[in-house]
Each structure stands twice: as C-alpha cells, then as structure tokens.
Amino acid sequence: MKTLKNILLPVILLLFSGGFAGAQCKAFAKKECLPNLAGYTHDGNYHAAVLVEGEEAELYKTFYSDMNYRVSIVGDSKLPDIEFRVLDSNKNVLYTNKDKNYSSTWDFKLESSQQLKFLIKVPSATRSGQQPSSGCVAIMFGFRLKK
C-alpha cells in the first residue's frame, strides 16, 4: 500500500501541475496576446504552452482567400524574443520575424486558401552553467473580411 502511495502521489501532482500551467498560459494569452488582435475578430482559439529556452513548437492552421489575417505570438517576459517562421505546404518561407526585429505580429492575406505551418522557437540566451528560463508562449489568430 505504501508503494502505491509513493507512485500515485507524484502522478497526481504531475497531472494537476500540468493543468495549472495550462490555465496560467491561457490567462497569459488572454492578457498579453489578445490585445494585439485589435481591429480583427479573434478566431476563438487560445494556443499557449510552457516552453523552455532552446525549444521549438509548430502549429498547422488553414487560412482562406479573400480574408485579412493577423497572427500574434507573445512570450513571457522571462524568455528571450520569440522567433517565428511561416511556411506554406511547399516549405517556402512566407515570413520570418527574425528579419523584422522579432515583431510579435504579422498581418497577411492569401490569394488562395491553404494550410500554413507556424514554427515557433525560443532562442537560447542562457550562459553555460545557468538554468534555462521557461515561460508561456501564446499564439493567436484574428481575421476580417477583405475590403
């Protein structure tokens, strides 16, 4: 019975801490990322996760022609500037914020409907011997009809 407690307690704590981190990241997304979509209608999805320096994440999303879009990607202030690239289905880079002073937003419209891949990277700014920083990174999308 004691062995069962020794196994279950860490598993339960891990499950609850993951849920707590997810809830914190959703609140972070609402507070820090959503305001960047001003003038656009938020699509209703909150994409956020805890990332550590040096980690990458990717997200696939379908976009339609005849609409204007804005993407906003914001990282916790403890993290270095977040880098993101947008690729089409042929792996052509459509945008990188690295060339734009790590801008957190990008406005775009597509000539045809297509699925895009967003590559989000938290660069490593930690010196050797230091613990890498971690924090929430949120990505949100807004749209408006083309005028």
For residue 71 the two structure tokens come to: 């993407």
Query: CA dihedral in degrees (137, 143, 45, 87; nearest 10)?
Result: -50
CATH code at position 102: 2.60.120.380
**What pLDDT was estimated at residue 146?**
63
Tell the residue number behind the tokens 């990241």, with chain if given: 25
Domain that holds residue 50: 2-145
Number of domains in the chain: 1
Among 81, 111, 110, which residue's Cα sits nearest to residue 96?
81
pLDDT at 1 over 60: no
Cβ contacts of residue 55 below 8 Å, gap of 6+? 121, 122
pLDDT tens digits, 5-28: 444 444 443 334 344 456 789 999
Share of the chain above pLDDT 90, in %: 74
pLDDT tens digits, 108-120: 999 999 999 999 9
pTM of the model: 0.80
pLDDT tens digits, 53-81: 999 999 999 999 989 999 999 999 999 99
